[in-house]
């Protein structure tokens, strides 16, 4: 990209950091969870191993997990920046990061069943661009693994099977059902993203975008903040625990948002993220880059 000649290399570094270096808020949450669990219990042992894995990945600059996931990019940019050129350079960066083994070649053609070898193909990576008034670029990346993606869920309320109505109580019932159904299959303790409302596609996307939030943030909507706290408490009383071995830590965080809906629809979407809440932010200001 002419305006930012180092943009591609910066994105490679962003991917390296996302894949190999877990954000501090996630590490702090895992450490707090380890301290809550009974010493030498299965849950405690799992968390000790997880945190050791985090240290090794950071020290050796190797991926935290063999499944480096779908690369989800959200890019906020000022007027005059070519999103077409940015998309080209981001795709090139993904291929380079794969060649350097920061990313595992995970992208499979759904028709031929052949691995592309470079993490490129229809829908890979996922790119979303949004113009804003600020004279800076904000690139957000999330690495969303397949195992945790498999245990996401979407509900259409009312749900007679769950006795869940079209209200926040029904939302609670649906989200807790999704967490309970996941058990240890989503590489828990999980981070739960929730969207109340919207259409099917937009609701699922908004739920997934909740994983960009820091685990220790506070929802600015008081009612949603209270919902998050209730769900967190109830989820951790399920006793599923890390990797399904039982314990006090089934979830590290619950993050919720809401979108307007049609009168005929009331969707509740649940995006499950594994303990490796892999995300990083890159800021480009005055020609300089910083990664958070």
Q: For 171-214, what is each residue's pLDDT tens digit?
A: 999 999 999 999 989 999 999 999 999 999 999 999 999 999 99
Fold of 7-18+64-145+278-291: 60s Ribosomal Protein L30; Chain: A; (3.30.1330)
Q: Which residues contact 104 (CB under 8 A, 6 or more apart)?
A: 63, 66, 67, 68, 98
| DSSP helix, strand, coil percent of the chain (3-state; round to 5) | 40, 25, 40
Q: Which residues contact 274 (CB under 8 A, 6 or more apart)?
A: 65, 145, 147, 148, 186, 187, 188, 190, 191
What is the per-residue pLDDT across 112-164, written as a single tens digit (0 to 9) for each?
999 999 999 999 999 999 999 999 999 999 999 999 999 999 999 999 999 99
Domain residue limits, the chain = 7-18+64-145+278-291, 147-273
Residue 126 tokens read as 């996922």
What is the model's pLDDT at position 117? Answer: 98
The span from the CA of 69 to the CA of 223, in Å, is 32
The answer to whether residues 91 and 83 touch, using CB atoms and an 8 Å cutoff, is: no
């Amino acid at each position: 990209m002419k305006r930012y000649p180092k943009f591609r290399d910066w994105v490679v570094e962003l991917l390296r950091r996302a894949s190999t270096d877990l954000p501090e808020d996630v590490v702090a949450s895992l450490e707090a969870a380890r301290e809550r669990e009974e010493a030498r219990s299965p849950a405690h042992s799992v968390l000790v191993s997880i945190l050791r894995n985090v240290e090794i990945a950071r020290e050796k600059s190797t991926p935290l997990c063999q499944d480096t996931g779908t690369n989800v990019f959200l890019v906020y940019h000022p007027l005059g920046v070519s999103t077409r050129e940015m998309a080209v350079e981001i795709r090139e960066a993904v291929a380079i990061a794969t060649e350097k083994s920061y990313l595992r070649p995970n992208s499979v053609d759904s028709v031929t069943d052949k691995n592309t070898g470079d993490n490129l193909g229809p829908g890979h990576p996922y790119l979303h661009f949004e113009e804003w008034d600020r004279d800076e670029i904000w690139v957000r990346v999330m690495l969303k693994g397949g195992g945790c993606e498999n245990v996401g869920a979407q509900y259409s309320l009312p749900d007679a099977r769950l006795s869940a109505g079209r209200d926040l109580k029904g939302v609670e019932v649906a989200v807790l059902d999704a967490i309970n159904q996941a058990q240890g299959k989503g590489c828990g303790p999980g981070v739960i993203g929730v969207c109340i409302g919207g259409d099917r596609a937009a609701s699922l996307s908004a739920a997934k975008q909740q994983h960009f939030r820091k685990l220790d943030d506070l929802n600015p909507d008081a009612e949603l903040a209270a919902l998050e706290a209730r769900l967190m408490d109830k989820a951790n009383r399920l006793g599923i625990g890390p990797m399904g071995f039982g314990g006090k830590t089934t979830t590290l965080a619950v993050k919720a948002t809401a979108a307007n809906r049609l009168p005929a629809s009331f969707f509740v979407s649940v995006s499950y993220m594994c303990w490796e809440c892999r995300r990083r932010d890159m800021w480009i200001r005055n020609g300089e880059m910083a990664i958070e």
